[in-house]
Amino acid sequence: MAADRPSDHLDSRRLDIGRIALNVREQGNGPLMLFFHGITSNSAVFGPLMAKLSDRFTTIAVDQRGHGLSDKSESGYEADDYADDIAGLIRVLDRGRAILVGHSLGARNSVTAAAKYPDLVRSVVAIDFTPYIETEAFDALEARVNAGDQLFDNEAAIEAYLAGRYPNIPADAIKIRAQSGYQPVEGGLRPLASPAAMAQTARGLRSDLAPAYREVTKPVLIVRGEASKLVSAAALAKTSRLRPDLPVVVVPGADHYVNEVSPEISLKAITNFIDA
């Protein structure tokens, strides 16, 4: 049982939620806190944050559909599909309502789930994804996503590629991505994330998120990296006009990858929000 597990013990397994099987990493004890990564990423990127929070919470990071070691269906990559997965997971876990922490795609999905299934959610930390993201930002994101499906000779080549692609992410966080996000294939290593799923997911990110933000009744903390190239200052300001009651934290010096670039500030923002 969870209550008997040491807070530093990490358990990785797949859970069948009926509609799909999701790979999860679990650590700690206490109220349920779920973590949802960005597009092309996986649950491992939240390991450092989970380690800091596992003495207070049952922290569970999820490989979302199409990503990591979770199922990769041929279709079903819209916001509602991901939100339905979150609801199914919370029900299968059967540990009460969950705090949702999501980055980028994960933030979109978490807010959508909170709006659609308020009885399953306590609150949401939405990291660097809001309504009103400009078309040019989505164009750049989609180009990066589609360029990521490459064959690499070895892990060192992956690290070099990721370091160039994410210049502000520290080396230890780059190593986590390199070690967890790729699989051996003939001739080298390829991303675990399904290229077809990534393409569909990237298109789906363009859907209007304003209705979910308008409808959500649970507490939502909006976190933006000050130097984010995805969520502009204008998009954030427009979101705050839509929901002036939602608190906002802008992380100095951080780009889009806030929780990896500035883990200590991310931790403080999450704990301050929850404690408040």
d(CA 83, CA 261): 26
* Residue 128 annotated as catalytic: yes
Q: Where are the alpha helices (DSSP H) in the chain?
A: 47-53, 79-93, 105-116, 135-147, 155-165, 171-180, 195-204, 210-215, 233-242, 258-261, 263-275
d(CA 261, CA 249): 15
* Residue 37 annotated as catalytic: no
Query: Cα Rg for the chain, rounded, in angstroms?
Result: 17
Q: Which of 63, 81, 84, 128 is catalytic?
A: 128
Cβ within 8 Å of residue 4, ≥6 positions away: none
d(CA 245, CA 40): 32
Distance of CA 151 to the CA centre of its chain: 24
CA angle 260, 265, 267 (to 5 degrees): 80
* Residue 256 annotated as catalytic: yes
Q: Which of 37, 67, 103, 256 is catalytic?
A: 256
Q: Which of 104, 110, 262, 266 is catalytic?
A: 104
Nearest to residue 40, comparing CAs of 198, 162, 173, 180?
198
**Active-site annotation, residues:** 104, 128, 256
